[in-house]
Structures are given as C-alpha cells and as structure tokens.
C-alpha cells in the first residue's frame, strides 16, 4: 500500500507548506479512436513534477478499464519510465473504452483499487466525456466507500484515510472543442499533419485540378485560413441557398485569372441551410459535371491523430502537467474538480462541471454558437477573417488611400502570410496597396510598385520574404525616404520585421520633427525567429524556428540510439534573446539551456557536468545541452564542448552541433500562418481607423505617439502599443525587451531535467469561471 510521504512543498511566497497526498496519474481518451499524438508530454510532466514534490505517482494503463481491473494495470511510475518519450506519438500508458466504468459496480471496483493503494488524487487526460466520468466518480466517492465498507471490501480505517477524492483534468482533443481553453492538447499537432498534406497536394498542380479535403470542424476552418483555401464548408455556418452556383462561378473566375489549383475544405458534418449533408464526393461530382474540372478528394482520417507532436503541444502538455500537479496539491475536500487550460500564454483553472454544463447547454444550440464559444474564443474572428481574405470583394468607391508594405531585417517564415492578408484587407477597404522591395533601402531608392489581390495568391505557405528584406536602418536615408513617401503619395506604412523594424519605426517617428512626410500612421508587426521585439509576447516566425530546432534535436538524440553515454551540445539562434533555447529545451527535453538573460558561471557549468555524470548511472544515457548563440562572450559553444568533453572523459563523450540559418528557413507552421494572417489583417483595419482620425484640412497628418504602434500579442489579446512608450522596456544594446514572460517557465525545464531547485508558484493560476468568460465573449 502506498504511503503518504512526509515531505513538504513550498507553494508560495507566504511560506505556506502543503503536505502532498499520494498522486495518481491516469491518462485516457473518451474512446479508442480519439488517440492523438501529444499525450506523452503531459504524462511526463505530471509524473516528474509529482515525484519532485515528494508524492508517489502511479500509471493507470488502458484508461478507466485499467482503473476497474486494477492489478498490473496500476503501476508505480518512476523518473526513468517517462524518459525519451517527448517525441513519441500516442500515449505510453494506453487508452480504451470502458463499459464497466459506466456502471456503479465498475466504479466501486475502481474505488476499491484506489483505496487499497492509498490514492486520493486523480489527474485525467481526455475529452468532455472522460472528464464528466471523472467528476461523477468524485461525486459518488463517499457513497462508494460506504458501500465498500458495508460489503467488507475495505476497512473503516481505509475509508477514513481516503475520505475524499481530488480530480484535475487536462483536455486532450484534436477538435479543440472544450470550453474555456484557447487550445487543447493535440490540436496544433493535428494542424501540422493536415498542412503537410495540403502543401503536398498543392505541389501536384502541374495540371488544372480541384482538390476537396474532408476534415474535423475546427481544424477545417483553421486549415482553410492557413492554406488560403478557395472555399470551406463548416456545419456552424451553412452556405446560403444557391451555393452550388456561387461555388462554380467562383472557381471559374479563379481559373480565368490563371489559377491552376483550387482547394476546398469540407468539415465533418457540413450541412446546407435546409440541413442536408454536404460531402466531398458531392462537391467533386458538382464541379466535375458543371465545370469539367479535374477534381480529386482527399479524406485525411486518422493521419491527423498520428505523428510526432509539435513543439507547441509538447510545451503545452508540459505546462498543463505542472499546473495539474500544483492544483492537486493545493486542493481541499471543498475544492471543486477543475480543468487546467490555456488562455493566451497563461495557465488557468476552470471548474470542471461548469465546463461540462456549458457543453451540454451549447449542444442544444445552433452549431454556430456551439463552436463560437466552445472551440475557441477566436473562432468568430477566424471565420470573419477567412471570409474577407478568401474572395475578392472590393468596395464600389475607392478610398484614395495608398498603404505601403515592407519587410525589414532577417527573413522568417510567416512574413508572406502577413503581407498577403495586409494587401487583401487593404484592397477590401478600398485602398491602393504598394509593395516596397528590400526594406528601407527600397523605400529610399524608389523600389515601390502596386501589388494586387492575385499578386499574393499562394503566399501563405511560402517561407522567407517574397518582397525582399534587408537589415539597413533608415537613419542615413531619411531625406530620400521622405521624398519617396511624397512621390508615391504614401498615406500609411506597414513595417513587418524584427528588432530592426522596431528601431526603424522609432527612427521614422523621431524624424517627424524634421520631415512632415513622416507624419503618417505606421504599424510594426513583429516577425523574427528571435522573438525579441518589445510589445509582443510572440513574433511571427518564432514558432517555425522552434519546431525546426525541436525536430532537429529529436534527430540528433536519435543518432545516439545505438551509442550509450553521449551528450550533445547544440547552439541555437536568437541573438541575445534566449526564447528559442529555452522553449526548445522544454520541448526537446534538454538537460540545460544557457541564455543571456539567466546569468551563469563556471560553477554552474560544473554542476551541469556533475548532473550528467549522475544521469549516466541511470538507464538514460543521453544528454542534451542547448546554448543561445550570444549567451556569454567567454563561455562559447567551443568552450562548453571542450569543458564537457574533458570533465566527462571516461563517463560520456560529446558532440557539437551549430544549427545556423536552417532555423530561419522552411515552410511556415500553422501557427505562424494564422498568426501572420491575423496580424496583417488587423494592422490594416487599425490603420484605416487611424487615417480617419488623422485626416485634417484635406490631408493626412499624424504626429501623436499613438499613430505609430507595435501590434503585438499580450497575454490574451492583440494590442497596439505606441513605439515611443516601449522605449523604456527596451534593452537597445542587447536588442531584447526588459520584460519577457517566458523566463517564468524556465524552472519547469530544470525540474523536468531533475535539478533540485525551488518552483516558485507565487503566480499560480487561480480558479476562474466559465460563465464570466462567456459573458465577456458575448460583449
């Protein structure tokens, strides 16, 4: 029988200590075919943080059925038992349907098995059905114990020790269909699989053809946005009557403009206004019969649930696992069962039954409101953005406004998606859109030309910068730039790029005192792999780079599969910003990540070497060390490699890898495509409103601080912040913000690597309420 350990955990700055209960981990899915590729990161984090706090952790194999059967299905988990699993798809503890658990007799057997092991905490991973079952189990707990005592299955003393059951859930679903969370575990990886297939399909367009792909509902909409699909059918928004004629007319128009391929996305359960189903085969027959186009259908099926987890899902699973353990340790008999979720970049807790009740209420509503609330708070924005950008529908009257777009700094994946959406949104607003080639150099030398709707077709999935980009700043070319702003009659400027774009924007603002031509609205969209632009938690391109690093680290570690006792030193990009090294370290399971923001010395390096020497004595005989390229001028990658090689001699050998510019290349991830698309569209809408405010005496004149802003994501929303106001939060010497949110999650990586450090949970997630979120959404 498991014994409650007499250890204490520091939980907050008020020196409150909690005595951990025996912790039990259960990983499960509502039904067998709901397996997806991203559960193992959550399993690993929950096990290791549970052990870190001094709790005893158990695996329950095969879901609720394993809970009912007991025996070997419930086994103690060890630190090594969850090693080398981050890159694995599926779930190592299995999942299965359980008819037995649906009966009271089955739940009594499950309760008996838990009581005998002294387990009073459950962490459940699954969908709404699995989590509802867990809450019902908790509600019945006292009655089940009473019946077990009455039947002589457990003693009064055992029942007293297990008098209450704590429940924490993590939502695992590729459909992203649970309320209160921005993204469920598994959704991002499913999008990766889908986009890979859609991208592969587009390369087959050597001849004219139409491709119809059938997908789950949420995934269908986001995929349509990410790949620029010509049409998407989703049950939440049935097409208008006569959609067949409209679709065929649109496809014919696209062909007339030279398009060789049309992509149509069809969601599962798509219906017409009169409730009749719409299928991919039906659309294929319609297009073939009416237009004579060569048409193919692709049903992705379970490929969406497989494969290697994305970096986002690994980090999400790890963060949710940590939060789940903290929620269990803080729980009291009065604490309601909760679900740990993601809101923006913040971990939150929601009452489980509030979420389930909202699900049940919404099921009776129309599909639109069901998805609008449950799938994602941004569902409506996704739908509206897609409708605007997918089909040309310019206003009858032109605005007589010229908006210029440029890329600044190093190229990155997602830049083209932002340009495409900005161009198309500008055209929809009636503006004339101008492309500036080669950054500020191009603006100074007149490399400016109109760009139209069709010019940006297919740009969403292309890496790099189609406009061309340079790092040159405008300070030495202000005279030429002002002349060309006047010559081309530019009324507003969209600057897409990294730290150079931010600094360049500041220089243009400062030049307003001398050059009146600079008194136009400007917006900077952060786009850099370094994720170092003040004013935004995330930059376009960083997610693609992060996935590149993570997948490369997976391959590097795999290269040592037949070689024991090897440590890899990997250098990442990022300038002085340690975002990539830290997040890749968390996603790839690194033993350490050296960054500029977290100072280290020779003693820290010695501790890391000793840690790896001890690690080699276990069954895990591989190590991974990440180093940000500018973390320390003296402790270079070569120095660290030589130090580890010398100090580890006879215990492990070392290999060095400098990833270089491969981190800037590649096709954009789904996140970067959608993020770029939303940022581009929102920037032009903001400029349109700002131009109206700045129109005075027949001309545009913008010289207030809020007329030149950075558009960034802050926690849960896209916000505009004045460039001049961000100066105080900027370390210009090292090209990073003073405040960086991700530094707070660095301890998670160290704990998961088995370092003995304190976990500061002073900013732990408080319990929020779904009803409040729902009311805010309605506003």
Q: Which residue numbers are catalytic?
A: 175
Say if CB 66 and CB 124 are below 8 A apart.
Answer: no
63: left (phi over 0), alpha (psi -120 to 50) or beta: left
For the chain, the first-to-last Cα distance in angstroms comes to: 52
Q: How far is CA 572 from the centre of its chain?
A: 20
Half-sphere exposure in the Cβ direction for 149 (13 Å, CA): 15
Directed axis angle between helix 367-374 and helix 352-363, to 10°? 160
Residues 6 or more apart whose Cβ sits within 8 Å of residue 592: 585, 608, 611, 625, 626, 750, 753
Which of 122, 112, 111 minimizes the C-alpha distance to 46?
A: 122
CA distance 139 to 153: 20
Question: Are 737 and 534 in contact, with CB atoms under 8 Å apart?
Answer: yes
CA distance linking residue 430 with residue 407, whole number of Å: 22
Element (H, E) at 380: helix 379-390
Question: Which residue bears the tokens 């699900």?
Answer: 359
Between CA 322 and CA 752 the distance in angstroms is 10
Torsion on CA atoms 142, 143, 146, 150, rounded to nearest 10: -170
DSSP state letters, 170-217? EEB-TT---TT-S--BTHHHHHHHHHHHHHHHHTTTTS-EEEEEEE-H
| Cα distance between residue 457 and residue 421, in whole Å | 10
Please return the burial class of 156, using the count of CB atoms within 10 Å of its CB with bins 0-12, 13-18 and 19+: exposed
The residue count for the chain: 779
Q: Alpha-carbon distance 740 to 537, whole Å?
A: 7
């Amino acid at each position: 029988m498991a014994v409650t350990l007499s250890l204490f955990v520091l939980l907050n700055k008020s020196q409150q200590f909690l005595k951990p209960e025996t912790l039990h981990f259960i990983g499960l899915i509502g039904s067998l075919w709901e397996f997806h590729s991203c559960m193992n990161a959550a399993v690993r984090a929950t096990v290791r943080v549970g052990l870190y706090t001094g709790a005893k952790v158990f695996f329950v194999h095969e879901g609720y059925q394993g809970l009912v059967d007991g025996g070997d299905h419930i086994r103690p988990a060890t630190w090594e038992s969850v090693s080398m699993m981050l890159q694995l798809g599926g779930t190592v503890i299995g999942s299965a349907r359980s008819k037995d658990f649906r009966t009271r007799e089955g739940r009594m057997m499950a309760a008996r098995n838990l009581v005998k092991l002294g387990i009073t905490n459950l962490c459940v991973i699954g969908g709404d059905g699995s989590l509802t079952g867990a809450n019902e189990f908790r509600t019945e707990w006292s009655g089940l114990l009473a019946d077990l005592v009455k039947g002589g299955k457990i003693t009064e003393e055992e029942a007293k020790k297990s008098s209450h059951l704590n429940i924490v859930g993590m939502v695992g679903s590729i459909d992203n269909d649970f309320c209160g969370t921005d993204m469920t575990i598994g959704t991002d990886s499913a999008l990766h699989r889908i986009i890979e297939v859609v991208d592969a399909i587009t390369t087959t367009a050597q001849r004219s053809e139409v491709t119809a792909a059938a997908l789950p509902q949420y995934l269908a909409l986001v995929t349509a946005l990410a790949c620029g699909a010509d049409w998407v059918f989703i049950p939440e928004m049935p097409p208008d009557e006569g959609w067949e004629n409209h679709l065929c007319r649109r496809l014919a128009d696209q062909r007339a403009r030279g398009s060789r391929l049309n992509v149509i996305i069809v969601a599962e359960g798509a219906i017409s206004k009169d409730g009749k189903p719409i299928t991919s085969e039906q659309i294929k027959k319609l297009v073939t019969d009416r237009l004579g186009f060569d048409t193919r259908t692709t049903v992705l099926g379970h490929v969406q649930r497989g494969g290697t987890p994305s970096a986002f899902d690994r980090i999400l699973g790890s963060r949710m696992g940590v939060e789940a353990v903290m929620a269990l340790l803080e729980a009291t008999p009065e604490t309601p069962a909760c679900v740990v979720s993601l809101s923006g970049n913040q971990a939150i807790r929601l009452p489980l039954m509030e979420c389930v009740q909202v699900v049940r209420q919404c099921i009776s509503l129309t599909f639109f409101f069901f998805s609008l609330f449950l799938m994602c708070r941004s569902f409506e924005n996704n739908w509206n953005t897609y409708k605007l950008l997918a089909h040309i529908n310019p206003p009858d009257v032109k605005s007589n406004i010229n908006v210029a777009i440029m890329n600044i700094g190093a190229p990155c994946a997602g830049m083209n998606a932002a340009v495409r959406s900005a161009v198309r949104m500008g055209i929809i607003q009636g503006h004339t859109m101008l492309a500036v080639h080669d950054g500020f150099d191009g603006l100074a030398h007149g490399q400016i030309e109109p760009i139209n709707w069709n010019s940006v077709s297919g740009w969403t999935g292309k890496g790099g910068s189609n406009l061309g980009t340079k790092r040159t700043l405008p300070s030495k070319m202000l005279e030429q730039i002002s002349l060309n702003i006047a010559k081309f009659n530019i009324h507003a400027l969209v600057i897409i790029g990294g730290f150079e774009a931010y600094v360049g924007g500041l220089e243009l603002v400062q030049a307003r005192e001398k050059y009146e031509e600079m008194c136009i609205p400007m917006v900077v969209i952060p786009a850099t792999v370094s994720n170092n632009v003040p004013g935004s938690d995330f930059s376009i391109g960083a997610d693609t780079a992060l996935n590149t690093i993570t997948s490369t680290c997976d391959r590097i570690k795999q290269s040592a599969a037949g070689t024991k006792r090897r440590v890899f030193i990997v250098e990442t990009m990022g300038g002085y910003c340690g975002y990539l090294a830290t997040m890749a370290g968390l996603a790839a399971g690194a033993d350490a990540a050296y960054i500029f923001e977290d100072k280290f010395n020779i003693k820290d390096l010695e501790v890391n070497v000793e840690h790896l020497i001890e690690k080699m004595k276990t069954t895990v005989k591989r190590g991974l060390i990440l180093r940000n390229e500018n973390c320390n001028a003296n402790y270079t990658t070569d120095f660290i490699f030589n130090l580890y090689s010398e100090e580890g001699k006879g215990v492990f050998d070392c290999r060095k890898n400098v990833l270089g510019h491969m981190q800037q290349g590649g096709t954009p991830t789904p996140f970067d495509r959608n993020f770029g698309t939303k940022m581009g569209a929102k920037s032009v809408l903001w400029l349109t409103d700002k131009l109206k405010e700045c129109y005075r005496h027949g001309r545009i004149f913008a010289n207030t601080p809020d007329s030149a802003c950075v558009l960034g994501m802050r926690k849960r929303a896209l916000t505009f912040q004045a460039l001049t106001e961000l100066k105080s939060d900027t370390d210009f010497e090292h090209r990073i913000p003073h405040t960086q949110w991700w530094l707070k999650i660095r301890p998670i990586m160290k704990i998961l690597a088995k370092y003995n450090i304190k976990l500061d949970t002073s900013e732990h997630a408080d319990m929020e309420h779904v009803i409040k979120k729902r009311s805010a959404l309605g506003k």
